[in-house]
Amino acid sequence: MAEINRDDVAHLARLAHIDMNDDELDRMAEELAVIVDAIKTVSEVAGDDVPATSHPIPLSNVFRDDVVGETLSNEEALLGAPDNADGRFKVPAILDGE
Amino acid sequence: MTDLIHLTADALAQKLASKEVSAVEATQAYLDRIGAVDGAINAFLHVNTDEALLVAAEVDKARTDGDTLHPLAGVPIAVKDLIVTKGQPTTAGSKILEGWQSPYDATVVRKLRAAKMPILGKTNLDEFAMGSSTEHSAYGPTRNPWDLDRIPGGSGGGSAAAVAAFEAPLALGTDTGGSIRQPGAVTGTVGVKPTYGGVSRYGAIAMASSLDQIGPVSRTVLDSALLHEVIGGHDPHDSTSLTDPVGALVEAARMGQVDGMRIGVIKELQGEGYQAGVLTRFHESLELLRSAGAEIVEVSCPNFRYALGAYYLIMPSEASSNLAKYDGVRFGLRVVPDGAPTIERVMGATRAAGFGHEVKRRIILGTYALSAGYYDAYYGSAQKVRTLIQRDFAAAFEQADVLISPTAPTTAFKLGEKLDDPLAMYLNDVATIPANMAGVPGLSLPGGLADEDGLPVGIQLLAPARQDARLYRVGAVLESMLEETWGGPLLAQAPAIPGIAGGK
């Protein structure tokens, strides 16, 4: 089982969109190394013959009737938005560049 | 007025029905109590004074008019701030949702409103329910009413402390790995994690969707059964909601006998790591059940020892995915760095400022476990362990109708004691996690005070999926036998909250 190091944490933080300074990366790498070490035995417990459980009480084909239910109005949907314009969420630039 | 707040929810409901007490009087008594003690306890993040009194007044008018009311109409309740409520803020204990108001009600909140139960406010929790001590709340820790220097458990420390400090007769909690039961254990209160899918999760802010469950928090087993019947049942808004009827839980709590029931002691959930005073009280409870005619058997669940490790892979994996929605786009905090940043940089800055350290750690851990190359070894393996835990439960329930263990290995520890040691903190949930992994229901009730520190010990009961009624049946019998030995409820032995005029 692979160890987790500071470079891994920096990469994961980028993937998860969380800015981290050097101190945070140091602390996080140290803590996660301990945690990963403690939980790595999990990968050694079950063999190939054991099926995975993704859901404790599986239900299948859960559908509702195909009728319009309660929905939020445009105004309600935008109520908590940090910024909006013309009835839509407004965000900063998607792409970099002048 | 102080007598009013010490009534059980059941007793209060009866006094309301007979018009001996008005709903406004009862609600005001609780609001006064919150005003008096919550400065010390910090159980509430928001107090819903006006709406609660308005609902109470409606109940009183309806009662005067002779309308038919729900048995709990006018009985106030507190709601964990992970559950969304229209007209009140919902923060999830996080800065990223500070000031946010939900445009819709959770299904359980709708049901409280339909029953006309005044909502007293929103209770404190570890940020996004991640923690066992409520110390990870962005709004300061909640304090244990038994000792203000100690943790009230977590993540639902606010709901448990509110009920223990007589700031509410009932509360709602959520339990992903023990967040209802462990706070119940360390505050001397009752908490129930229903069967997965037995109570709708619609409107509960998701941490780990395959583990999360809403449930009741109260001072007695019967009160939890009463509340469970209000909130339980099928909800088309939740695709994991079971279609079963909620069941006769109150009737089970009132049954009053366990003669001939087989109660299984889980070998792996005792011994090393468990505080001596916890085990002493646990064994006393076994003796009481035996004297009531139950058969005590020992069962072995060998794979439970892997439950904690598997949990700390599945939970962060699901959390990292669920928390991706806090990106500063549609709701919540947005932090814009200097210059002309792209949305990607806004997300990075927003999530850095809005999430606390524990939440970040779990997101990173989950992102790691789900990464290409690690997925099978981590998340995939953890899901297999989940199957093994379910098999252990299935085998144990062949031998026993109900399983029993201490709820938590120790009594309440000191604030700050485990804050810098995540692994030690995670170990608090070692006895509660297996139930979430398998989806089975669990209940924690007070088992007495540990000799070495005089703090509450929790007894956990576990039943097969969909058999929540057994928890109430056994729990109520054990509770009444224990209260007989104590000469009253355990909370009557709690010390006065320091600095409060008139004490408890």
Closest approach of B410 to chain A, Cα-based (Å): 21
DSSP assigned state of A67: S
Could you tell me the CA-to-CA distances from B64 to B10, B79, B112, B113, B199 in Å, in that order?
A: 20, 28, 21, 19, 32
Stretch A31-56: mean pLDDT: 90
d(CA B121, CA B128): 18
Q: How much of chain A is helix, strand and coil, in % rounded to 5? A: 40, 5, 55
Mean pLDDT score of chain A: 90
Whole-number Å distance between alpha carbons of B265 and B461: 10
Q: Give the Cβ contact number of residue B342 at 10 Å.
A: 17
**Least CA distance to A31: which residue of chain B?**
B422
- Which one of B155, B159, B320, B444 is the catalytic residue? B155
pLDDT at A56 over 70: yes
pLDDT at B156: 98
Q: What pLDDT shows up at residue B244? A: 92
Q: Could you tell me if residue A84 is inside a domain?
A: no
Q: Is B155 labeled as catalytic in the residue annotation?
A: yes
Q: Given an 8 Å threshold on Cβ–Cβ distance, is A12 in contact with B367?
A: yes
Which residues of chain B lie closer than 8 angstroms to A81, CB-CB? 329-331
Report yes or no: A95 at the B interface, CB cutoff 8 Å: yes
Q: Is residue A82 domain-resident? A: no
Across the interface, whether the CB atoms of B313 and A39 are under 8 A apart is answered: yes
CA distance B323 to B336: 19
| Residue A19 belongs to some domain of the structure | yes
Cα–Cα distance for residue pair B264/B234, rounded to 1 Å: 30
Round to whole Å and give the CA distance between B59 and B64.
9
Residue A76 sits at the chain B interface (C-beta within 8 Å): yes
Q: Does the CB of A68 have a partner CB in chain B at under 8 Å?
A: no
3-state secondary structure of A22: helix
What's the N-to-C CA distance of chain A in angstroms?
45
Whole-model pTM over 0.80: yes
Triad B226, B107, B71: Cα angle to 5°: 30
Domain-located, residue A59: no
* Residue A72 resides in a domain: no
CB < 8 Å to A27, chain B:
357
Say yes or no for a CB contact (<8 Å) between A80 and B100.
yes
DSSP B98-136: TT-B-SS--HHHHHHHHTT--EEEEE--SGGG--SSSTT
Q: Say if residues B504 and B494 touch (Cβ distance below 8 Å).
A: yes
Q: A2: pLDDT confidence band, cut at 50, 70 and 90?
A: low
CB contact under 8 A, B423 and A34: yes
CB contact under 8 A, A19 and B351: yes
Q: Do B349 and A46 touch (CB under 8 A)?
A: no
Contact residues on chain B for A9, CB-CB shorter than 8 A: 364
Other Cβ atoms within 10 Å of B293 Cβ, number: 12
What's the number of domains chain A is made of?
1
Based on DSSP, count helices (H) and strands (E) in chain B, helices before strands: 17, 11
Closest CA to B168 of B31, B36, B37: B31
Q: What is the ipTM of this complex?
A: 0.94
Half-sphere CA count of A57, side-chain side, radius 13 A: 23
List the single residue in B344, B378, B390 with the smallest CB-CB distance to A53.
B390
- Reading the block at residue B444, the tokens are 């924690």
Interface test with B, best of A4, A28, A57, A95 (most B CBs within 10 A): A57
pLDDT at A90 over 70: yes
| Domain assignment of residue A38, yes or no | yes
From the CA of A37, how many Å to the nearest CA of chain B?
Answer: 10
At A1 the pLDDT is: 46
Q: Dump pLDDT digits (tens) for B249-273.
A: 999 999 999 999 999 999 999 988 9
**Single-letter amino acid, residue B362:** R
Is B285 catalytic? The answer is: no
Active site residue B179: yes
Q: Which of B196, B320, B390 sits opposite A16 (nearest CB)?
A: B320
d(CA B258, CA B290): 9
A81 in a structural domain: no
Which residues of A are less than 8 Å from B196 in CB distance? 56-57
Size of interface A-B (CB pairs under 8 A): 177
pLDDT digits (tens, 9 = 90+) for B391-424: 999 999 999 999 999 999 999 999 999 998 888 8
Measured CA to CA, the distance from residue B167 to residue B157 in angstroms comes to 13
**Any A CB within 8 A of B195 CB:** yes
B412 secondary structure, DSSP code:
P
Q: Is the pLDDT of residue A41 over 60?
A: yes
Range of the domain at A18: 6-45
- CA separation for the pair B452, B196 (Å, rounded): 36
pLDDT band for A94, please (50, 70, 90 cuts).
Answer: confident
For chain B, residues with pLDDT lower than 70 are 1-2, 500-504
Interface test with A, best of B303, B325, B368 (most A CBs within 10 A): B368
pLDDT for the residue B299: 98
Give residue B374's pLDDT. Answer: 86
Q: B348 to chain A: which residues are within 8 Å by CB? A: 14, 17-19
pLDDT at B405: 98
State the Cα–Cα distance between residues A16 and B211, nearest whole angstrom.
22
Residue A79 is assigned to a structural domain of this protein = no
- Residue B475 structure tokens: 């729990």
Residue B409's pLDDT is 96
CA distance B7 to B24: 15
